[in-house]
Structure 1
Amino acid sequence: MKIALMMENSQANKNAIILNELNAVAEEKGFPVYNVGMSDENDHHLTYIHLGIMASILLNSKAVDFVVTGCGTGQGALMSLNIHPGVVCGYCIDPADAFLFAQINNGNALSLPFAKGFGWGAELNVRFIFEKAFTGRNGEGYPP
């Protein structure tokens, strides 16, 4: 599974944290991760509107199989991605959300809040989210 990480301007400074946790989980499974922007505050300026367009192009062209994205609350990126055909994005604030989204909705993108609720232990929560999102077979329903 090829995974793209994309972040918008307000949360670009957290890209290294998110990328590190995503890579830690993806590498164990042999999944390549593509950091498509913004990699830091100095990268090309992107809004969550851009994220939706980019996700649609990457997913529908089969350049990637899954997109991890978000914004301050995660809501803007979620709505921006879900307006595009071929994109099924879920909102994820904890590992249970990731597990249930993968099992029930079997989507191809997750939107996370990178400001709201992003405090102590946030990197652990993000890692556990990725572990649940990318473990097991998707679309099996619940209970599994």
Structure 2
Amino acid sequence: MKIALIIENSQAAKSEIVHEALTSVVGPMGHEVHHYGMYTPEDKTMLTYPMNGLLAGILLNSGAADFVVTGCGTGMGSMLACNSMPGVFCGLVIDPTDAFLFSQINAGNCMSMPYAKGFGWAAELNLQDCYRKIFENEPGLGYPKERAEVMAVNRGVLTNLKKAACHDMLTVLKTCDQDLLRTAISGERFEELFFANSNDEEISAYLRAL
């Protein structure tokens, strides 16, 4: 699995902590972590939480990533921005129980975490436990198990609602604020990571043209 990490500007100072917690958990599972920034508070590209959502939409809809890990101060802004994108199902994960239930019930492809609110002593341990609960089990098995079939039906209903409510990703890219889009994809490793992993030629071509 290709897991993309996106860090919002207000929490860029914690980038190394988050990246280390994530890689220490998912690396032994055989997953790859592609860090799209921010890397430090001094980075040239300042990613805002709306840009987190736009990037999540690009990465998931192009196939450049299978799952996105992101967040902001409270996790709320990034979650809302991610869920505004077609094909992105983002959960707010604060503790390991949230992570487990989101994985088993919702089987989403994106998680947003608070990296300021409640981020205190041993916060990195909470991060590790959350990532473990997201990635250690097959998603969508249901909890409680006897409701798994109903939960799968509801996920399908939500997927269809999302398709009805959203434009396709290429239309989003063409009609959104182009300056916002250019900034979102201007991170120092975006070209290196994205174009090597994207499976959507139309999205790739449009972003190359920018």
Residue ranges of structure 1 left out of the alignment (5+ in a row): none
Q: Secondary structure at the match of 1:28?
A: coil
Q: Partner of 1:125 in structure 2?
A: 126
Output the amino acid matched with 1:109: C
Query: What CA distance in whole angstroms lies between the structure 1 residues aligned with 2:8 and 2:38?
Result: 6
Q: Partner of 2:153 in structure 1?
A: none
Deviations along 1:85-118, one digit per CA (max 9) or x if unpaired, are: 1000000000000000000000000000000000
Output the amino acid matched with 1:62: G
The structure with more radius of gyration? 2
Q: Secondary structure at the match of 1:39?
A: coil
Q: Compute the displacement of 1:143 (Å).
A: 2.0
Q: Partner of 2:68 in structure 1?
A: 67
TM-score (norm 1): 0.98
Q: Partner of 2:20 in structure 1?
A: 20
Query: What CA distance in whole angstroms lies between the structure 1 residues aligned with 2:60 and 2:36?
Result: 13
Q: Partner of 1:84 in structure 2?
A: 85
Q: Which has the larger helix fraction?
A: 2
Q: Partner of 1:41 in structure 2?
A: 41
Query: What CA distance in whole angstroms lies between the structure 2 residues aligned with 1:7 and 1:25?
Result: 18
Residue ranges of structure 2 left out of the alignment (5+ in a row): 146-210
Q: Which has the larger strand fraction?
A: 1
Q: Compute the displacement of 1:26 (Å).
A: 1.1
Q: Partner of 1:102 in structure 2?
A: 103
Query: What CA distance in whole angstroms lies between the structure 1 residues aligned with 2:32 and 2:81?
Result: 24
Output the amino acid matched with 1:64: A
Identical counterparts, % of pairs: 54
Query: What CA distance in whole angstroms lies between the structure 2 residues aligned with 1:138 and 1:109?
Result: 12
Count of equivalent residues: 144
Once superposed, what is the RMSD of the aligned Cα atoms?
Answer: 0.6
Query: What CA distance in whole angstroms lies between the structure 2 residues aligned with 1:97 and 1:109?
Result: 13
